[in-house]
Amino acid sequence: MRNKLRNLGNGFLLLTVLTGLLYSGNATAQNICPLDTLKPTKVNDLEAFARIPVLNEGRIKPMETFAKSFLLRLSGRRSYGKESALEWFARFIFAPRTTYRDQIFLINNPEILEAIKVDPEKRRRYSWRQLEPGYDKIKELAEVLMDIDEKELSAVEREILRVYSNLGYYIRISGAFAYAFPHPDFDLTSPEIKEKLGLATDRDKFSFYDLYVVTDKLEAAAMVLRGGDVQQWSEEGKTVARLINAMYFWTEHYGNAPFGVIPTVRYEEESWLSPMDIMRLNVDQEAYFDEITHIRNMTVYYWNGEQLQFNIAAKAYLDSVGKRLSPKEKEQYDRFGLELFYNDFNGFLWAKLGYGLAFMFLLFSLLSSRPWLSRTAAVLAVAGFVPHLIAQILRILIMARPPVSNLFETFIFVGLIAVILGFILEWVNRNSLGLTIASVSGLIFLTIASKFGGDGDTLKVLVAVLDSNFWLSTHVITITIGYAGCCVGGIMGHIYVLQALFDSKNTKRLNATLNNTLGILGFGLTTTFLGTALGGIWADQSWGRFWGWDPKENGALMIVLWVALLFHMRLAKLIHPLGVAVGSILTLIVVMWAWFGVNLLSVGLHSYGFTSGIAMGLITYVLFELVFLAVTVFVLGKKGMKI
């Protein structure tokens, strides 16, 4: 089984030159796969498949996570119709042809569709079949754009690049297991050659894999042709040359698939390769060949719908890979159970549900003062909090690092802290105010977070400067708690203004809300200050300066200054209670600026990378808020309240 393609390679050079006429090597992925009309029987239970480790974006993750992020990247959805991401992905990887009509490519911008002359779909999702005729056009457009600095690109141009890269990603991965399918390239009718190569004589269709197994014999058969005149080759010789040439073409065509499933060590570095790359690069090891065979078997059993055999092949594959992992890899692999549980658990969805229902009950309790309404709301809020907390803890355990390192994670975490702050307020005041804060902020932050999970796997590796470190963890966590505190202060400001609008005479209630607002802002100020200063300490440890007026540092400083300004203006009697409320609402804007607004400037040392769509959202929010404030201040001014 060893030294397969290396020997073959010797013959290749000569043969490829000679046989160029026999085989025009101009096919693309979609032309190679023969299984256009056939349908796989499919297997139903993919549990073992879900656990197969994939190295992707620097992290070893279970196939299920990879499948989810793959589908999410392409379509912006976590499932395809009734199929789960994993089911869809299994169909895609084992039987790519069956997905060609699946509308999975999300294209937001109609101008792209005009450019490639495709009719826009209502759901903005398109199938490979629809886009294929326009692929060359997209490629042409994208290649021009690649040389341009990302900042200069317009929204359409970015979308073109995104769609192009998604199409490429889809095509390249679609062929990762192609070696296991029978294909016309390897059709073989002559019984003599079949016998010579040791292939099954009762069929004519073979796969790349079938021939790969008999490379030695194929090579021996090719030796005869060496040096001979191509015109005088026998039919048999021509067939052998065709097969070898096809194999050579396949290794080139399907090589470099971004789908690392087989762990190897190259140049002393961990490097995971796709099966085809293992065969192409001729990495010698029994285990590799076994693993390639297991995958091939899985493919076959998937097609035949043989569940038991499929599971056995998958388990055998897992066994083989599991044995070869380095201790560090093993550690990540052992946490797969947690990760799969996290994937299934969908904690944030349940949390959103709990918070949403709690909020509804709170609204009802405004209409009627039956105590069971707010009690139910309390129970629901806690019911939302528990899965929120569990999911957060799971994330920390899976990644073995602090919970806050990208925008998605900050939203989850800020939401959690805001809910806790709400509960504390409720515990102190027992007037449903804290509950409202908890359910509203939980709902809002988790909803925003789910918008940011949109680029695939939300569990990401860290760049060097963010590598786990005491100051990083403390700095980022405290500053995020600070954001949460200030956000809750801002929400309280809204509540104050609304209470004043509905009942400006109820000064007792207003004062209580004001005191709570100030208390929360004080908390926010303290934690933001600490977070900022810890950031300074971290910067001093890493770069040798405590403070450098970097945009992110400035953002945090602005929160501190703004809240300090509020307190001092109140002390100097420059503003009235309504002014404090308005100021705390404006704090929200300052927090947004510090939190992700500065990232839009794309300068400085901090950036957790994200899309530009957020800019519009931010601007819309700010405008909306300012209009709201202008109107309420005007109305309340009529009622005699001063800012």
Partner 1 sequence: MTSKFRQKLRKIKLLQALASLRITCLGIFLLFLLTLWGTIAQVQSGLYLAQERFFHSFYFLVLGFIPFPGGQLVMWILFINVLAVMLIRFVYSWKNFGILVIHIGLLMFFVSGYVILNTAEESHVTLKEGQATNVSSAFHDWELAIWEAPPERTDGKVIRTVTGVDVARLKINQPLPMEDSGIIIKLLEYHRNANAYAVNDGDSRYLNASGVQKIEAAKLEKEPERNTPGIILEVTTPEGSSHVILYGAERIPTPIEAGGKTYHLSLRLKRYPMPFTLKLVEFIKEEHPGTQTARSFKSKVAVDTGGQWREKPITMNNPLRHREYTFYQSSFSVDQFRNESSTLAVVRNHGRVLPYISTFVTFAGLVIHFAMAAVNTRKRQRQGAPHAK
Residue of 200, 461, 498, 616 that binds partner 1 (CB under 8 A) = 461
DSSP category for residue 430: -
- Name the nearest CA neighbour of 235 among 22, 384, 394: 22
Interacting positions 578-607 with partner 1 (CB under 8 A): 593, 598, 601, 603-604
Decide whether 16 or 271 has the Cβ nearer to partner 1: 271
In angstroms, how far is CA 404 from the centroid of its own chain? 16
270 binds partner 1 (CB under 8 A): yes
# binding residues, partner 1 (CB under 8 A): 65
Q: Which two tokens stand for residue 354?
A: 């709990």
Cα separation of 483 and 469, whole Å? 21
The residue range among 136-144, 182-190, 458-466, 578-586 that interacts with partner 1, by the rule CB under 8 A, is 458-466
Decide whether 211 or 472 has the Cβ nearer to partner 1: 472
DSSP 372-411: HHHHHHHHHHHHHHHHHHHHHHHHHHHHTS-S-SSHHHHH
Q: Binding string to partner 1 for residues 52 to 81, with x set by CB under 8 A, is what?
A: ---xxxxx----------------------
Please name every residue paired with 182 in a beta bridge, in sequence order, or none if there are none: 207
Smallest gap, in angstroms, from Cβ of residue 24 to partner 1?
34
Residue of 546, 606, 611, 618 that binds partner 1 (CB under 8 A) = 546
Cα separation of 132 and 116, whole Å? 10
DSSP category for residue 175: T
Decide whether 67 or 560 has the Cβ nearer to partner 1: 560
The residue range among 49-57, 202-210, 279-287, 296-304 that interacts with partner 1, by the rule CB under 8 A, is 49-57
Count of beta carbons in the 10 Å neighbourhood of residue 201: 11
Count of beta carbons in the 10 Å neighbourhood of residue 464: 5
Q: Binding string to partner 1 for residues 550 to 569, with x set by CB under 8 A, is what?
A: xx--xx-xx--xx-xx--xx
Q: How far apart are the first and last CA of the chain?
A: 83
Residue of 169, 345, 471, 610 that binds partner 1 (CB under 8 A) = 471
Cα separation of 333 and 345, whole Å? 19
DSSP 27-91: --HHHH---SS------S--HHHHT-EEEETTEEEEHHHHHHHHHHHHHS-SEETTEEHHHHHHH
Q: Binding string to partner 1 for residues 511 to 540, with x set by CB under 8 A, is what?
A: -x--x---x--xx-xx--xx--xx-xxx-x
> What is residue 330's three-state secondary structure?
helix
Decide whether 267 or 634 has the Cβ nearer to partner 1: 267
115, 134 contact by CB (below 8 A): yes
Handedness of CA 266, 270, 275, 276 (dihedral sign): negative
503 binds partner 1 (CB under 8 A): no
Residue of 309, 469, 504, 607 that binds partner 1 (CB under 8 A) = 469
DSSP category for residue 102: S
- Label residue 544 left, alpha or beta by phi (over 0 means left) and psi (-120 to 50 means alpha): left
* Helix, strand, coil tally for the chain in percent (to 5): 70, 5, 25
Q: Kindly give the pairing relationship between strand 206-207 and strand 182-183.
A: antiparallel
The residue range among 2-10, 208-216, 282-290, 549-557 that interacts with partner 1, by the rule CB under 8 A, is 549-557
Smallest gap, in angstroms, from Cβ of residue 551 to partner 1?
5
Smallest gap, in angstroms, from Cβ of residue 343 to partner 1?
22
Interacting positions 170-229 with partner 1 (CB under 8 A): none
Decide whether 220 or 530 has the Cβ nearer to partner 1: 530
Decide whether 107 or 557 has the Cβ nearer to partner 1: 557
Binding footprint of partner 1 on the chain (CB under 8 A): 55-59, 260, 269-272, 428, 430, 461, 463-465, 467, 469, 471-472, 508, 512, 515, 519, 522-523, 525-526, 529-530, 533-534, 536-538, 540-551, 554-555, 557-558, 561-562, 564-565, 568-569, 571-572, 574, 593, 598, 601, 603-604
